[in-house]
């Protein structure tokens, strides 16, 4: 018998008991749909996190004081001098740009409205290093720095809170901690990311912050230095160069660093491993339901073999070999799981789509992604489930003695 005939016969036999076949298929549909949906959610989570990490800058390194992992005694604060030293083209050829910043928070008000965003004192390099764009107005410039100008760039969320809209606000005067600041522009929205909203912040010139808003014990102190490497390949070298320069400047030739360097790649791989575990975990749970569906197939095939004992006996009497019977029943079980697989893929895709829509309705930047790999995996896995759980019943059918089988009532 050819495979095509076996296929047609299996289809005929399965359609002979539609309710039973349908319920068996349903088990596989649920399993495959769960696998597809879960993998899609996992992948979507990974992409959204990867996206938001990439959005914070290009080839970025963060340098901050102390070390959260080790208890360092009296860590030296980072200073503007440190930042300047990192700009040295000869000591640090892998470094493209350096942007020291002061971080604080304060009350911002306009008219009767007020808000408490993060306030950052930044240098003009900051915008390049952090990939910040503006939708209107101008960036913070060297003139602003030199003049310690009372100017501010608003995040779109802050502008929204204060003015009710985020366009056409350039030129207005707001108050930060009671001091008047002129709005020189609005930042482009970055959306909610893994680090809270980056839209809810106000950027002012570094020197202004230093002098008037975010006071530190020594005047040249900085809270964090953002460093951009020349390219993605030299991020590790840049990290080594920063280490060597800062160790020299902090006079710590031995012992642990009194500062911490964190690269974008570190961040990326940390979150990727988290989402990876999440995906495996979700997929594993979904896989269990696929397994249950497979057991359903096996169960129904065993019932079918028992019911059709006489038919098997007859087929053997007419000359069916062991292989013919084996093929017949394996085709049936594979067909069950394959149909379930196809419907399950469609169904799982719909679930993923619905999850995406729900996330969108809740303003979460999260789109589940049904990958070709997930589809391939689910198809192969469901076919394998059908074969695996069909083998035992099919073997049982093929091994029947024709005499016994024909006598069976």
- Give the residues lining the site for other proteins (CB under 8 A): 1-2, 5, 12-13, 16, 310-311, 314-324, 401-403, 406
Confirm if 345 and 36 have CB atoms less than 8 A apart: yes
Place of tokens 């990326």: 268
Half-sphere exposure of 247 (CA within 13 A, CB side): 13
Q: How far is the CB of 343 from other proteins (least distance, A)?
A: 24
CB 42 within 8 A of CB 373: no
**Shortest CB 405 distance to other proteins, Å:** 10
CB of 367 to other proteins, least distance (A): 47
**Sequence-ordered list of residues with C-beta below 8 angstroms from that of 404, at least 6 positions apart, any chain:** 313
| CB 337, min distance to other proteins, A | 22
* Cα separation, 350 vs 352, whole angstroms: 5
Residue-level length of the chain:
409
Closer residue to other proteins in complex, CB, 165/322: 322
Question: Residue 175 and residue 169: Cα distance in Å, rounded?
Answer: 14
Smallest distance, other proteins to C-beta of residue 402, A: 5
Q: What are 337's two structure tokens?
A: 């799981």
Residue 204, Cβ density class (10 Å: 0-12 exposed, 13-18 middle, ≥19 buried): buried
* Shortest spacing between CB 399 and other proteins, in angstroms: 9
Residues in contact with 147: Cβ distance below 8 Å, sequence separation at least 6, in sequence order? none
Give the residue with the Cβ less far from other proteins, 130 or 316: 316
CB of 303 to other proteins, least distance (A): 17
- Residue 278: left (phi > 0), alpha (psi -120 to 50), or beta? alpha
Read off the tokens for 268: 């990326």
By C-beta, is 5 or 70 nearer to other proteins?
5
Please answer whether residues 230 and 95 qualify as being in contact, where contact means their C-beta atoms are separated by less than 8 angstroms: yes
* Residue with Cβ nearer other proteins (35 or 320): 320
101 φψ region: left (φ > 0), alpha (ψ -120 to 50), beta (else):
beta
CB 166 within 8 A of CB 135: yes
Measured from the CB atom, the residue of 214 and 400 that comes closer to other proteins is: 400
Select 92 or 320, whichever has its Cβ closest to other proteins. Answer: 320
Identify which of residues 29 and 405 has a Cβ nearer to other proteins in the complex: 405
**H or E, element range at 74:** none
Closest CB to other proteins among residues 18, 251: 18
- 14 vs 60 by CB, closer to other proteins: 14
Give whichever of 1 and 146 is closer to other proteins, judged by the CB atom.
Answer: 1
Q: How far apart are CA 206 and CA 222, in angstroms?
A: 9
Least distance in angstroms from the C-beta of 22 to other proteins: 17
Say if residues 312 and 405 touch (Cβ distance below 8 Å): yes
- Judge whether 392 and 384 are in contact, CB under 8 Å: no
How far CA 272 is from CA of 45, 75, 127, 170, 192, in Å, comes to 9, 31, 26, 39, 18
């Amino acid at each position: 018998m050819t495979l095509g005939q076996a296929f047609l016969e299996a289809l005929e036999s399965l359609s002979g008991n539609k309710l039973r076949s349908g319920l068996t298929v349903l088990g596989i549909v649920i399993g495959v749909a769960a696998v597809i949906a879960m993998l899609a959610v996992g992948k979507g989570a990974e992409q959204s996190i990867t996206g938001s990490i990439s959005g914070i800058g290009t080839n970025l390194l963060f340098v901050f004081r102390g070390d959260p992992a080790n208890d360092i005694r009296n860590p030296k604060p980072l200073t503007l001098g440190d930042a300047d030293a990192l700009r040295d083209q000869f000591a640090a050829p892998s470094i493209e740009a350096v942007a020291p910043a002061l971080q604080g928070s304060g009350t911002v008000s306009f008219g009767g409205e007020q808000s408490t965003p993060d306030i950052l004192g930044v240098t003009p390099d900051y915008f390049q290093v952090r990939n910040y764009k503006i939708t209107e107005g101008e960036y913070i410039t060297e003139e602003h720095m030199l003049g310690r100008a009372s100017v501010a760039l608003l995040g779109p969320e802050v502008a929204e809170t204060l003015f009710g809209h985020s366009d056409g606000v350039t030129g207005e005067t707001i108050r930060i901690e009671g001091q008047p600041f002129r709005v020189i522009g609005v930042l482009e929205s970055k959306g909610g990311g893994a680090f809270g909203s980056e839209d809810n912040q106000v950027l002012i010139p570094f020197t202004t912050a230093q002098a008037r808003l975010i006071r530190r014990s020594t005047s040249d102190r900085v809270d964090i230095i953002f460093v951009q490497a020349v390219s993605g390949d030299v991020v590790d070298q840049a990290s080594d160069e920063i280490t060597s320069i800062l160790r020299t400047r902090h006079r710590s030739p031995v012992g642990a660093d009194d500062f911490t360097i964190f690269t974008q790649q570190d961040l990326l791989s940390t979150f990727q491993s988290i989402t990876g575990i999440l995906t495996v975990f979700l997929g594993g749970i979904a896989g269990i339901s696929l397994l249950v569906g497979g057991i359903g197939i096996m169960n129904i095939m065993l019932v079918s073999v028992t019911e059709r004992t006489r038919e098997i006996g007859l087929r053997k009497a007419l000359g069916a070999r062991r292989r013919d019977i084996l093929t017949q029943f394996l085709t049936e079980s594979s067909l069950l799981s394959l149909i379930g697989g196809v419907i399950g893929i469609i169904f799982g895709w719909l679930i993923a789509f619905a999850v995406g829509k729900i996330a969108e309705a809740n303003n979460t930047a999260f789109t589940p992604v049904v990958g070709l790999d997930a589809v391939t995996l689910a198809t192969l896995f469901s076919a394998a489930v059908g074969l695996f759980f069909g083998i035992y019943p099919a073997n049982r059918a093929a091994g029947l003695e024709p005499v016994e089988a024909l006598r069976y009532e």
